[in-house]
Chains A and B, each alone.
Chain A
């Protein structure tokens, strides 16, 4: 297949500048999910299960992969996207060789963990997907690159091209872009819900089949071994946190996604259909979404527990777990030396690691607050919800408002005091009667 590249004679430096700048709004930059040793003598690279971040950019986001677009030419006109066809920006394309050159040289110097290749739609989805495939094929076979590769599956591309690409990469993702079909129709007129979900389903089925195959043939080539992910833009359309979270949950359940990423909407285009964001991108909202996402994936929470029809948005002052715990004080306090793993996980201040350590350590000895501190439990939050050998660390009134006030950072305290309920103190509060 002939690869058409823009006629302009740009240096690789200029291209990198333009195509990185065009790719930066994509969020997924993780290199996790796959463990692979470097088995061949002449190849370069391996994969580490937990992923490795190699640097952090000025916005504090991790740089793990070489995140670039193959081309920023695009036939689509999505309202929120900087590369939309109606925008007058400099357009350019890499050649497959250039992408390989950058990846190999960056990887060798330990700048990156691998390649994250996405692309604008050049001519047609099929044509673009084929370009991506050619590039990855070259990188894997000619350059013997064995590191992490994440590519975008282009919605609307032929399923055969997506499938053969899947055998070369570690992770694939299809962007959901917006949580509901209506907002998609409004902001991304050329994309449809069906078009996006088709390749997602295709990859899911491919992964399931491949897993069964690997059971029988251990050395069968693996298909998208690090799983697939997707991303949603937060705050570009009117959805509430509850709606977003429900969409995320159904994606995890119905499409077996490894990750759903959320990107706070950054306004790069002026358009009537886009909201104005006087306070900048909704970063706190994004943060809360990720916190809730973790609670769903690792802590056994359901979306319905965290938010509901009545409470549609996250608490600004408190993380979702504290918020949940405060609303369910009847489930606390939890006895550290006896509670099971899943109960421990629900205590604010106890994470997956510390819960595991607690369960392991109490086989040998009886734990007290001092030990918990060593284990890494955040006592600042946890003290209100736990007992060690039946005792609290301090005596304090076990009331929602008292605990709530103490859980919030001091600098935020004054905000909370507006709707504080004052109440006559009693002797129990001071522990005199205990």
Chain B
């Protein structure tokens, strides 16, 4: 048994896949794994670490796009953004399955429709969770205006959703400076007005030290007023509210603070 350990990034996973094919390892007794902090050694298992290589990962990405289409590629990206332990293995097995099928002369209309395959079923499942979480944050994220005009939002997602939020907000708020701070990962999505967004790593923002715009509090209060006035008491239904807006999202939402 051989374990290929890679870094927890899209490049890392794709480089790992490239490496397995490059070395022509027997693919039945191999596992692609994200390298954890305290990795346990296993009996009869050889560990190999692969450093990320942008050039190699781009090759893999191009192959996926060309052979399986953009939709499939985007789904695999979302899987790579998840926190699931088996994600690297699942991505590798999906690519393997697709390539084998093609070698056998059978071209899938859409690779991800082969839900009988356990790796693809897993891709389907993980993709759905990540997509849902990103969707929820697009809905529930709340910005606050700082005294220098920057809009700041704080989130605590399970998966790595920042890149999935970026396009949506960059288009919507083209003319604004905004920053979304991912507290779990310590990343920050920074979008300066009218230019390209970027994700910065190892960021720490202490909310106590921030200075807000002077009208920020009034607008928060206006929103709270609206939020409470819009509810109809005769129809009050807290259970439904909790179903649709789970408590974990409320931590950073203006109307619940």
Contact = CB atoms under 8 A, between A and B. Distances in A.
B65 to A, nearest CB: 20
Interface stretch (B33-41, B85-93, B134-142): B134-142
Contacts of B109: 360, 363-364
A264 to B, nearest CB: 7
A53 to B, nearest CB: 6
Interface string B95-112: 000000000000011100
Interface residues of B, number: 56
A296 interface: no
A110 B153 contact: yes
B114 to A, nearest CB: 5
A157 interface: no
Interface in A263-287: 264, 266-267, 280-281, 283
Interface string B184-217: 0000000000100000000000000000000100
Interface string A162-183: 0000000000000000000000
A9 interface: no
Interface in A241-300: 264, 266-267, 280-281, 283
B253 A55 contact: yes
Given A59-B237, A365-B116, A24 B231 contact: yes
Interface in A7-47: 12-13, 16-17, 20-21, 23-25, 37-38, 41-46
Contact of A13 (B115, B215, B225, B237): B225
Contacts of A283: 235
A361 B235 contact: no
Q: Interface centre among B109, B115, B233, by most A CB within 10 Å? A: B115
Q: Interface centre among A25, A44, A60, by most B CB within 10 Å? A: A60
Contacts of B114: 361, 364-365
B232 A17 contact: no
A74 interface: no
A13 B237 CA distance: 26
A13 B227 CA distance: 12
Contacts of B230: 20, 23-24, 57, 61, 63, 67
Contacts, number: 154
A16 B143 contact: no
Interface in A48-75: 48, 52-63, 66-68
A320 B239 CA distance: 23
A150 B125 CA distance: 36
A324 interface: no
Contact of B226 (A16, A37, A364): A16
B121 interface: yes
Contacts of A21: 229
Given A54-B139, A108-B145, A111-B223, A365 B175 contact: no
A266 B236 CA distance: 12
Nearest to B143: A109
Contacts of A264: 235
A105 B216 CA distance: 9
Contacts of B227: 55, 57, 63
Interface in A108-122: 108-111
B31 to A, nearest CB: 23
Contacts of A55: 139-140, 227, 245, 253, 255
A167 B173 CA distance: 23
Contacts of B142: 109-111
Given A109-B143, A374-B124, A374-B125, A43 B237 contact: no
A371 B245 CA distance: 29
A127 interface: no
A53 B240 CA distance: 14
B235 to A, nearest CB: 4
A59 B175 contact: no
Contacts of B113: 360-361, 363-364
Contact of B140 (A37, A41, A54): A54
A126 B54 CA distance: 64
A220 interface: no
A16 B225 contact: yes
B141 A110 contact: yes
Nearest to B176: A108
A220 to B, nearest CB: 23
A108 B231 contact: no
Contact of B171 (A46, A281, A364): A46
Nearest to A29: B230
A405 B239 CA distance: 26
Interface in B232-257: 232-241, 243-245, 253-255
B121 A266 contact: no
A382 interface: no
A106 interface: yes
Ranked 9 nearest A-B pairs via Cβ: A60-B240, A20-B229, A57-B231, A59-B235, A58-B231, A60-B237, A56-B245, A365-B116, A109-B143
Interface of B: 108-110, 113-116, 121, 124-125, 138-145, 151, 153, 168, 171-176, 194, 215, 219, 221-223, 225-241, 243-245, 253-255
Interface of A: 12-13, 16-17, 20-21, 23-25, 37-38, 41-46, 48, 52-63, 66-68, 102, 105-106, 108-111, 264, 266-267, 280-281, 283, 360-361, 363-365, 371, 374-375
Given A57-B231, A266-B234, 14 more contacts: A12-B222, A37-B171, A41-B194, A52-B139, A59-B233, A60-B241, A61-B231, A109-B142, A109-B143, A110-B142, A360-B110, A361-B115, A364-B109, A374-B124
12 contacts: A13-B221, A16-B222, A16-B226, A43-B175, A55-B245, A56-B241, A58-B238, A59-B232, A108-B143, A111-B254, A280-B234, A371-B115
